[in-house]
Amino acid sequence: MKKTSSLFSILLFIILPLYSLAQSPVISGKVVDEKGQPLPGATVAVKGTAKGTVTNNAGIFTLKDVPANAPLLITFQGYENATVDIHGQSNITVTLKADISKLGDVVVVGYGTQRKAASTGSIASVKGADITQTPVTNVAQGLAARVPGVQITQNNAAPGGNISVRIRGTNSINGSSEPLYIIDGIQISNSGGVGDVSPLSTINPNDIESVEILKDASSTAIYGARGANGVVLITTKRGKSGATRVQLDMYRGIQNITKTLSMLNAAQFAQLENDIYNSPIYADPASLGKGTDWQDVIYRQANVQNFQAAVSGGSDKTQFSLSGNYFDQEGIIISSDFKRYSLRTTLDHTISQHFKVGTSLLTSYTINNNIPTGISSIDGPLVTQSIVGATLGAPPTLVPYKEDGSEYPFADQFNGRYREVANPVGLAQITNRNTIRRTLANVYGEAKIVSGLTYRASFNVDVGNTLNDYYSPIYILGKAEVNANSGTASKGNVNTTNWLHESVLTYNRDFGAHNIKFTGVYAIQSNLYNDNVINANGFPNDATTNEAVQLAVNRTVSSYRSKESLNSYMGRINYGYANKYFLDVTARYDGASKFGENHKWGFFPAVAGAWRIIEEPFLKDSRLFSDLKLRVSYGRTGNAGAISPYQSLALESSGSNYQFNHIYTVGISPSGIPNADLRWEKSTQANIGIDIGLFEDRLGITADIYNKKTKDLLFVKNLPLSSGYTSMTGNFASIRNKGIELAANARLLTGKFKWNLNANVSVNRNELLSLEGGVHEYVLSPYSVLRVGQPLGIFKTYVFNGIYQTGETVLPGSGSRTGGVKVADLNKDGQITGDDQTITGNANPSFIFGLSSNFSYGNFDLSFFISGVQGNKVFNLSRYTFENGLGGRNVLEGMANRWSATNPSNEYASGYQGGRLPVSDRFVEDGSYIRMKNITLGYKLPHIKHITSARIYISSNNLFTITDYTGYDPEVNSFGGSNTQIGVDNLVYPMARSFLVGLQVGL
């Protein structure tokens, strides 16, 4: 009996644990913050396994088949991880503590991170969620007006169109003033060209975790030769340990043009034609009515859609993420569109407590069907080469299509009278397509050598291929225009390979109240470029377009290849004492292959300090201040992107062709003067800033004052023809930018109804300090100049003084007559000369600002975002064209009120004036505006089985704009990223207003 009892006990000892495992309990519970508020989306996992789940909108979770007494690991971004032992419980409540280092108190800096409290530089941080609050094609669009000191201009609103970014003003003349972009360590640049596809458009904005903008010399000097224009650090999303998460995001919407321009209708146009030519070209103008509204023909309601799926997760040792994106945007102009397919993956693996490796790979495929908009020349070409200009200039007495629906060339209408204006429908048939394949790859290895000492090696590559397809078909030409050279094609391949290796050694150690961190970097970088282009014309028909250029009568080919290298050494010391006093010292030594033999290397040092006054005893217990820090920095950075390779060398080029022994020979001749002293553009900047937190951080204020001087500006100087050369590149100028930046954020309401408000304003003053050789003024165009003592981007024109009335004396040199434009004789010498031109406008704004607000109550959320620019001028070059009654093309509706003997208008010249109008301040307009950039209303759906979270929203972009500008849109620049030709409107692609419906689902 005793033996039986003992055997039974042994069996129970074995069976009960097995039974308990077989009946593993269901654990449920709730995850809340320190105030008891639920935390939706928190990860609850069985520690050491892949088993887990996430909390729903109420912070509640259910986890099945949990082994008895297995500990749970609870994680949530912005909070400290928590490990909970179950101890037989089936329902638990877990409170997570806020992790200050994860709640915005850590910022990404060059080659690492830094506690925000310890930062000494001027760094602005934007969350990825804020960037994608407004559906954007690229990340820079999402930064517009969100960060003080950063001006973003949409040069071309075409799908995938380029933008210009200026951090603390324009810093160069001939070189680039675009910032350096660094995506997970991979460095990329943007040209800002108005006709280019922005390289940032090849990157899915939804993959971005955060963006840091480095503005002062202390924060940018770590990038030395590439930091003069500021640095934008983009950190993408990576996998996190815990349960696998699936996120689906999608939206669809429609777009419409925000504004159309009023042009003469058919009856008004016909009367103008009769007046100009003093002939009854149209027998009965009044009978023609409105005629064709060409803007209605060319502009359309366009669709836009975006789909994204992302999966992420991992264990304590290995984390992964995978995302795919499809973006499709039709343009509001017929035949234009942009498509992007992208795939991104990351993998991080901890081999042991001493070694870690990882990689990220982003590959994208984009197709941009572009159409010709915006040109730089004055007058005529605008209506033959630009679809927007041709739309406005098209005679409303003509029609776009034949009866069979095909395009109707103007040369075949009205006896060919209007062949000098292009049918815009025909221009839309021109193939102008860019197909871009791009891959950004990063591989890193990290080793913890000893306590506090880490070595990280990374290898980055950016590989791109662009195929440019162009074909102008024969069928868009009139019958009389077709000849042996009709049909124009080109095909070009551009290949780029930019690779970068960086070795980073970091030592971080605390010595009591002292903290020292040293960062040492060795980097080597190489940029390779090559292109091959074939141009052809004279095709037998349009059957093969540009896919068989061998069929063309005439063909030319060209190719180009370049290589540039940059080697760098950098050291940085961060010192902190008692979490109160901080000192950062940075030095970088860069060598660039493209500078002169005597100046290959440049040295870029910086020093910065910060004092956290809030830590002083007299403020430690303050009820008013929750944070107070003073920052000061001074340093020097360079601009290696100011010139293309080989400008310091003696150059030769083709083109000087000649006949030798009756044989046509391609000639080669000298084209560039060597300059061994060609050197870096160098920016020296001082910055003073203060960070203030009030009322337990319910109100935060950041203010900065800066003064930046850039010298040794690279400038292309014209040479006398006697030299045998046309120009020379050298360091011939200097410039200054100084300004004030102010940003504030407030948590106005924090209860059930939450209200957050963010605002910023920036003031920058730009001044050209000198030009080489004591030159005071340099003419750039008929309406703009460089002038010492003035900012870049000023307009110099005549002053409009009305219309010459009957009996009034016409001043010599005015090129006018009675009924023509009168300009002011400023020097009172009785004649009109170039001396009567004066500075009439400045394209730089007095200030720029942004305002955003977020409201939430229950499951509802509402946000809006306003951007604005004040005090800038825009030269409306297109208005100059379309107020000029030359005949043969349409003009603005105001010309219906033109001068005549019976209508002595003092604003619009007569219809029989002839000739070009004088370039005057009449076309220099106020470009100030306030824009409702985005407004979004969202609703979180109640809990749905198997769905962690779900939100639907409606959104509108560019809902309205308040402005006095008479053109399509005041946010414009026909010269793209030019530093000197700023604020010129010659009819680039117009802005669109969009209405979207979206869905976000977490699984």
Question: Across residues 382-392, what is the average pLDDT?
Answer: 89
Question: Across residues 974-983, what is the average pLDDT?
Answer: 84
Structural contact between residues 161 and 238, judged by C-beta atoms closer than 8 angstroms: no
Neighbouring residues of 124: CB distance < 8 A, sequence distance ≥ 6: 147, 148, 149, 150, 212, 213, 215, 743
Structural contact between residues 808 and 820, judged by C-beta atoms closer than 8 angstroms: no
* pLDDT tens per residue across span 671-699: 778 888 888 888 999 999 999 999 988 99
Q: How many other CB atoms are there within 10 angstroms of residue 810's CB atom?
A: 14
pLDDT at residue 257, as a whole number: 96
Nearest CA among 56, 55, 53, 49 for reference residue 64: 53
Structural contact between residues 523 and 502, judged by C-beta atoms closer than 8 angstroms: yes
DSSP state of 439: E
pLDDT at residue 497, as a whole number: 95
pLDDT at residue 98, as a whole number: 64
pLDDT at residue 380, as a whole number: 65
Structural contact between residues 680 and 636, judged by C-beta atoms closer than 8 angstroms: no
Lowest-pLDDT range, 107-121, 260-274, 950-964? 107-121
pLDDT at residue 193, as a whole number: 58
DSSP state of 273: H
Is the pLDDT at 986 greater than 80? The verdict is yes
* pLDDT tens per residue across span 929-975: 999 999 999 999 988 888 888 999 999 999 999 999 999 999 988 88
Range list of H helices, 609-694: 617-620
pLDDT at residue 396, as a whole number: 98
Q: How many residues does the chain have?
A: 1003
For the chain, the helix, strand and coil percentages under 3-state DSSP, each to the nearest 5: 15, 50, 35
pLDDT at residue 16, as a whole number: 41
- Integer Cα distance of 180 and 212 in angstroms: 12
Range list of H helices, 445-554: none
Is the pLDDT at 976 greater than 80? The verdict is no
Report residue 466 as tokens: 């662009």
Structural contact between residues 498 and 448, judged by C-beta atoms closer than 8 angstroms: no
For 307-341, b where at least 16 C-beta lie within 10 A, e where not — what string? Answer: ebebbbbbbeeebbbebebebbbbbbbbbbbbbbe
pLDDT at residue 968, as a whole number: 94
Structural contact between residues 863 and 130, judged by C-beta atoms closer than 8 angstroms: no
pLDDT grade, residue 226 (50/70/90)?
confident
- Integer Cα distance of 933 and 135 in angstroms: 11
Question: Across residues 346-375, what is the average pLDDT?
Answer: 91
More confident: 808 or 599: 808
Report residue 711 as tokens: 């010298």
Q: Identify residue 546 by its one-letter amino acid code.
A: N
DSSP 151-196: EEE-S--STTB--EEEESS---SSS--PPEEEETTEEE-----TTS
Hey, is 882 helix, strand or coil?
A: helix
Is the pLDDT at 11 greater than 50? The verdict is no
pLDDT at residue 15, as a whole number: 41
The 3 state secondary structure assigned to 897-927 is: HCCECCECCCCCCCCCCCCCCCCEHHHEEEC
Longest dimension (CA), the chain: 139
Structural contact between residues 680 and 643, judged by C-beta atoms closer than 8 angstroms: no
The residue with tokens 């014309």 is: 537
Q: Kind and range of the H or E element at 767?
A: strand 753-771
Structural contact between residues 410 and 478, judged by C-beta atoms closer than 8 angstroms: yes
Structural contact between residues 867 and 847, judged by C-beta atoms closer than 8 angstroms: no
pLDDT grade, residue 2 (50/70/90)?
very low
Report residue 81 as tokens: 């991880």
The residue with tokens 């400290």 is: 80
The residue with tokens 């309406």 is: 783
Nearest CA among 436, 454, 457, 434 for reference residue 445: 457
Query: What are the two backbone dihedrals, phi and then psi, of residue 575, each rounded to the nearest 5 degrees?
Result: -125, 135
More confident: 323 or 191: 323
Is the pLDDT at 22 greater than 60? The verdict is no
* pLDDT tens per residue across span 43-69: 888 887 767 787 876 788 888 878 877
- Integer Cα distance of 109 and 115 in angstroms: 10
Query: What are the two backbone dihedrals, phi and then psi, of residue 85, each rounded to the nearest 5 degrees?
Result: -90, 130
DSSP state of 843: -
Segment of 636-640, 648-652, 800-804, 974-978 carrying the highest mean pLDDT: 800-804
- Integer Cα distance of 64 and 28 in angstroms: 8
Mean pLDDT of the chain: 88
pLDDT at residue 135, as a whole number: 67
pLDDT grade, residue 190 (50/70/90)?
confident
CA torsion angle for 140, 141, 146, 148 (degrees, to 10)?
60
Is the pLDDT at 476 greater than 80? The verdict is yes
Is the pLDDT at 889 greater than 90? The verdict is yes
The residue with tokens 């502009």 is: 299
Q: How many other CB atoms are there within 10 angstroms of residue 47's CB atom?
A: 16
Lowest-pLDDT range, 102-116, 327-341, 471-485, 872-886? 102-116
Is the pLDDT at 4 greater than 50? The verdict is no
CA torsion angle for 287, 289, 291, 293 (degrees, to 10)?
170
pLDDT grade, residue 20 (50/70/90)?
very low
> In Å, how far are 284, 928, 1003 from 893, measured between CA atoms?
19, 23, 56
Query: What are the two backbone dihedrals, phi and then psi, of residue 868, each rounded to the nearest 5 degrees?
Result: -160, 150
More confident: 385 or 395: 395
Task: Determine how β-strand 727-750 pairs with β-strand 318-330.
Answer: unpaired
Lowest-pLDDT range, 93-107, 357-371, 727-741? 93-107
pLDDT grade, residue 539 (50/70/90)?
very high
DSSP state of 477: S
Q: Identify residue 653 by its one-letter amino acid code.
A: S
Paired strand residues for 253: 304, 996
Q: Kind and range of the H or E element at 271?
A: helix 266-277
Report residue 848 as tokens: 């720029």
pLDDT at residue 864, as a whole number: 93
DSSP state of 335: T
Q: Kind and range of the H or E element at 62?
A: strand 60-63
Report residue 168 as tokens: 């603390």
Question: Across residues 900-920, what is the average pLDDT?
Answer: 86
Structural contact between residues 981 and 784, judged by C-beta atoms closer than 8 angstroms: yes
Question: Across residues 970-984, what is the average pLDDT?
Answer: 86
Question: Across residues 476-486, what is the average pLDDT?
Answer: 93
pLDDT grade, residue 332 (50/70/90)?
very high
pLDDT at residue 14, as a whole number: 40
- Integer Cα distance of 601 and 592 in angstroms: 6
- Integer Cα distance of 806 and 909 in angstroms: 13
Structural contact between residues 362 and 439, judged by C-beta atoms closer than 8 angstroms: yes
* pLDDT tens per residue across span 821-858: 999 999 999 999 999 999 999 999 999 999 999 999 99
